[in-house]
């Protein structure tokens, strides 16, 4: 009876291409994570900028209510 724990000779020929594919997939995944991180940073920056614009708009609204046409030029 053959030893069931003995590694067949053709395993290396099967595993070598699979290892190359896994390495390529890992590289792609890492690149995708880096791109996603960059996109998240940009989204946070844009969100902060939008918040600042909303703050300024609310401030301008309060000032126009307080001072009327002096602020808006009407």
Give the per-residue pLDDT at 55: 96
Range of the domain at 50: 27-72
Q: Is residue 16 part of a domain?
A: no
Q: Is residue 35 part of a domain?
A: yes
φ/ψ of residue 27, rounded to 5: -65, -45
pLDDT digits (tens, 9 = 90+) for 9-60: 777 787 888 899 999 999 999 999 999 999 999 999 999 999 999 999 999 8
Q: Is residue 13 part of a domain?
A: no
Give the per-residue pLDDT at 67: 81
Distances in Å between the alpha carbon of 44 and those of 32, 47, 52, 62? 18, 5, 12, 27
Q: Is residue 4 part of a domain?
A: no
Residue 57: helix, strand or coil by DSSP? helix
Q: Is residue 62 part of a domain?
A: yes
Q: Is residue 37 part of a domain?
A: yes
Q: How many domains does the chain have?
A: 1
Q: Is residue 58 part of a domain?
A: yes
Give the per-residue pLDDT at 69: 62
């Amino acid at each position: 009876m053959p030893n069931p724990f003995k590694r067949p000779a053709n395993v290396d020929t099967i595993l070598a291409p699979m290892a190359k594919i896994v390495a390529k997939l890992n590289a792609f995944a890492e690149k995708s994570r880096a791109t996603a991180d960059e996109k998240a940073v940009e989204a946070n920056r844009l969100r902060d900028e939008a918040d600042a614009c909303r703050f300024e708009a609310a401030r301008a609204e309060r000032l126009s209510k307080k001072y009327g046409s002096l602020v808006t030029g009407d």
